[in-house]
A and B are shown apart, each in its own frame.
Chain A
């Protein structure tokens, strides 16, 4: 039914839960997984002061290496479960757009992703990246929500 599933990962807890569920799902469907990790580079600096404050941890190469690690982490979990996986890492300022574009370019027929349940006002939004993916994706999107319910219902 779904042959190639795009699993975006951001290294968070909910993303890890979504990865686990996606691998089980892929196993049941006999599908392969495309694991996508996106590093978000720092926007171009507006001033010399900002340039002084640059965090070397956000250096493009470091970001890309971290993204590669995250994608490989999913690939390893897939290998352990006997699911074929293509790990992808990239840098992009706009992760949602990158997810939709990768789903298209990789010929994925499902996007399987977690959505951050935030508190307060932003809880009203299901997670801005997921939100944009849901609005723009050309294929079905399976959204995993955090399993621990928040206090106010």
Chain B
């Protein structure tokens, strides 16, 4: 079955379902999971030149969060006995980073959460998942 399974993590508990599903798939076929975190985009308008300390502080924190998120997946994979590779993707739209990584890493399955919301938006799928589905030809496992 699927040998290289990309799982996207935002570092929150919402990624737990997708991580477990990806591990399950990988264990089944002796596959590898490729954990991906797309760095959070800076909310600041950067005007070039030397950045204010606040830019660097944001970037550092985003990188820290990303590394923590990936390290968590690595630990999950270790205890499940599954090979895991991690990719920290530069800040940008998450769906683009996910699709680009899936192609570059020759993944054959993408696992994502659905990030369902309450109220009116409950019927809408997470927008990143939506865009990955639209722009990528790989099978996508959507886990709630």
Chain A positions within 8 Å of B, measured between CB atoms, are: 1, 21, 24-25, 28-29, 115, 117, 123-126, 130-132, 134-149, 153
List 15 extra interface pairs beyond A134-B142, A142-B139, A143-B141, CB under 8 A: A28-B29, A117-B137, A124-B134, A134-B125, A134-B129, A135-B122, A135-B123, A142-B140, A143-B139, A143-B140, A145-B136, A145-B138, A145-B139, A146-B137, A149-B137
Which chain A positions have C-beta within 8 A of B116?
135
Residues in A whose Cβ lies below 8 Å from that of B21: 140
CB contacts (< 8 Å) of A25 on chain B: these are 1
- CB-CB under 8 A for A143 and B1, given A134-B114, A136-B123: no
Instruction: Tell whether, in the assembled complex, residue B139 and residue A153 are in contact, meaning their CB atoms are under 8 Å apart.
Output: no
Residues of B within 8 A of A (CB-CB), count:
26
Q: Report the tally of A-B residue pairs with Cβ distances under 8 A.
A: 65
Residue of A nearest to B24 (CB): A1
Q: Are A126 and B133 in contact (CB-based, < 8 A)? A: yes
